[in-house]
Amino acid sequence: MVEPIYQSTKLQREKWIKEASFNLFNLKSEQVVIDLLTDSGTGAMSDRQWAAMMLGDESYAGASSYYNLKEAVKNITGFDYFLPTHQGRAAENVLFSVLVKEGDIVPGNSHFDTTKGHIEFRKAKAVDCTVDISADTTTWHPFKGNVDLEKLENVLKANPAEKISCIIVTVTNNTAGGQPVSMSNIREVGKLSKKYGVKFIIDSARFAENAYFIKIREEGYADKDIRDIAREMFSYADGMTMSSKKDAIVNMGGFIGFRDEELFRKASTFNIIYEGFLTYGGMSGRDMNALAQGLYEGTELQYLESRISQVALLGTKMKEYGIPVLQPFGGHAIFLNALEFLPNIPREEFPAQALAIELYTEGGVRAVEIGALMADRDPETRQNRYPELELVRLAVPRRVYTDNHIEYVAASVRNVFERRAHINRGVKITWEAPIMRHFTIALEKL
Ligand code: F0G
């Protein structure tokens, strides 16, 4: 789809962001010039996807669109059993209703915030076992999203298997900067999961981008097809959750993949309660058809090459201007290091949020804070958690913007960077929700 771009002035944006309580999620889309809030559900569907929608079968049970999607899921992931859900967090909700109980532990690389939310909501604990190098924003490492196998094994050793709901590996590792996880790391996690008798689930939102990085960075994969790489990744796991709004390039949709029938059967009951009957689960027939087609398009090498190099173009421009960005560049986004960008703002004043506000008022670019606001409070102590990295994410929607738009974004960031010495104060929280606060938070500028 071709969509309009809305122009505005700095003066208008200053007024709008104040009315939005300095929370970028509260802005109307017409108040945004270039929207890099997320790459989730914001992609442009193809001619073939729109055509597939016309053939959607809207039968309540047994729709052909369901079988179409089931076949695509089997082809792309290798999983025999699957449940459709309306998006990724719904897949988490259904699967965790079976796997996660109070007092459990869920180790993995960095859990995405909805994943962590679903775990903590069930009074279980998400343990982040990401490699230490992921917190180093400049050293080049091909797979900064990896699980630290020693940290993971220590958790598995220290706790009985029945206390561990499952291991979750998120590919690519969104929270750590869209960094990929290597095949050998996924394989080793698979071995540990078998050794300790714990299930291994892949949070697959950006599995195709991860497969692309494996192809170009990991020895032995240069000549392999993206789909073969993806199937190998999944072959080590017992199941997967998918937010189809990312690498399957649809505006809404998700699913769960299972290797064994028993887990599938248990989850099916929750799918019926929360999502809908097993053959639609929160999606219409036309949505399932678009998703099936999107799974094939999202795993095409040429598409992935152009997508990931467009994201890298933004990163390269940032580097050219001397702006501190996370390196290597993420697959779906460029992450600005707010602690270096705005060193005068203390952490208690949320420098990444302050930077996101500046980027918006400067050029109407909407980004998202991935720092202390998103990290929320510790569920036990209720103290603010300050993660090692305080980032602003510029997520690039798929097949939406031209390189010219990317240059505009880069120029806007540079303008803020040039006046960074004069940005000394951040924000204060005036209202927050008890969980997942960053979506609805109200702030005041200091
Ligand atoms: N897992 C990962 C790794 C994600 O990035 C997301 C969503 C989800 C699960 C949840 O999926 O939105 O379909 O319910 N990430 C979006 C983002 C919102 O902006 O990164 P969902």
What pLDDT is recorded for position 183?
98
The Cα 14–Cα 12 span in angstroms is: 6
Q: Hey, which residues does 108 pair with through a beta bridge?
A: 128, 168
The C-alpha angle with vertex 358 and arms to 355 and 361, in degrees rounded to 5, equals 155
CA–centroid distance, 446 to ligand 1, in Å, is: 31
Q: Which residues are catalytic?
A: 60, 112-113, 203, 205, 246, 438
**Protein residue closest via CA to atom 13 of ligand 1:** 88
Find, among 277, 211, 261, 263, the residue nearest to 77 by Cα.
Answer: 211
Segment 418-444, tens digit of pLDDT: 999 999 999 999 999 998 899 999 999
- From the CB of 283, is ligand 1 less than 6 Å away? no
Q: Maximum distance among all alpha carbons in the chain? A: 61
What pLDDT is recorded for position 435?
84
What pLDDT is recorded for position 309?
97
| Mutational test site, ligand 1, from 36, 243, 245, 250, max ligand atoms within 8 Å of CB | 243
3-state secondary structure the chain: CCCCCCCCCHHHHHHHHHHCCCCHHHCCHHHCCEECCCCCCCCCCCHHHHHHHHCCCCCCCCCHHHHHHHHHHHHHHCCCEEEEECCHHHHHHHHHHHHCCCCCEEEECCCCHHHHHHHHHCCCEEEECECHHHHCCCCCCCCCCCECHHHHHHHHHHCCHHHECCEEEECCECCCCCECCCHHHHHHHHHHHHHHCCCEEEECCCHHHHHHHHHHHCCCCCCCCHHHHHHHHHHCCCEEEEECCCCCCCCCCEEEEECCHHHHHHHHHHHHHHCCCCCCCCCCHHHHHHHHHHHHHCCCHHHHHHHHHHHHHHHHHHHHCCCCECCCCCCCEEEEEHHHHCCCCCHHHCHHHHHHHHHHHHHCEECEEECHHHHCECCCCCCECCCCCCEEEEECCCCCCCHHHHHHHHHHHHHHHHCHHHCCCCEEEEECCCCCHHHCCEEEEC
| Mutational test site, ligand 1, from 24, 37, 40, 255, max ligand atoms within 8 Å of CB | 40
- From the CB of 114, is ligand 1 less than 6 Å away? yes
**Protein residue closest via CA to atom 11 of ligand 1:** 88
**Protein residue closest via CA to atom 19 of ligand 1:** 38
Q: Hey, which residues does 428 pair with through a beta bridge?
A: 444
What pLDDT is recorded for position 175?
87
- From the CB of 174, is ligand 1 less than 6 Å away? yes
- From the CB of 205, is ligand 1 less than 6 Å away? yes
Low-confidence ranges of the chain (pLDDT < 70): none
What pLDDT is recorded for position 310?
98
CA–centroid distance, 13 to ligand 1, in Å, is: 27
What pLDDT is recorded for position 380?
87
- Global pTM reads 0.96
What pLDDT is recorded for position 19?
98
What pLDDT is recorded for position 389?
86
Ligand 1 atom with least separation from CA of 172: 3
